[in-house]
Amino acid sequence: MTKKVDVRGARDMPPMAKSLGRMSWNLTGSWRNVTPVIDYEKCTLCMLCWKFCPDLAITCTEPPRIILDFCKGCGVCAEECPVKCIEMKEGL
Ligand code: SF4
Ligand code: SF4
């Protein structure tokens, strides 16, 4: 069961370029050639992946889920995950 995470406001967001909403007319998932896969055994629910995903392709839920229609495979989430539990896999 997923649980909604409280959003405390814009001050919690990282200083980076970011979409303000998912672009339903532009399914950036079609750009992807590698796919992030979260190891939920190691995930600490810190939500940094959600904060840093530039396309809002990660849900703000516990645990976070990746919405593949919008994930372009950039790897920012895997880079920012402090416990390195997101692996970018080919062929998904
Ligand atoms: S790879 Fe990660 S950061 Fe990049 S779009 Fe997909 S979910 Fe977002
Ligand atoms: S950044 Fe890593 S540890 Fe934090 S919620 Fe995302 S997957 Fe889990």
Structure confidence at residue 6 (pLDDT)? 61
How remote is the CA of residue 9 from the centroid of ligand 1, in Å?
21
Q: Which residues contact 1 (CB under 8 A, 6 or more apart)?
A: none
Structure confidence at residue 91 (pLDDT)? 72
Peptide bond into 82 cis (omega under 30): no
Structure confidence at residue 56 (pLDDT)? 87
How remote is the CA of residue 6 from the centroid of ligand 1, in Å?
21
Nearest to 28 by CA among 88, 61, 68: 68
| 18: pLDDT strictly greater than 90 | no
Q: What pTM value is reported for the model?
A: 0.81
| 48: pLDDT strictly greater than 80 | yes
Looking at the CA of residue 80, tell me the nearest atom of ligand 2.
Answer: 1
At 4-15, the pLDDT tens digits run 656 666 666 666
Domain spans of the chain?
A: 38-92
Average pLDDT of the residues in 85-89: 98
* Candidate CATH numbers 1.10.3720.10, 3.40.50.620, 3.30.70.20, 3.40.50.720; the one for domain 38-92: 3.30.70.20
How remote is the CA of residue 16 from the centroid of ligand 1, in Å?
14
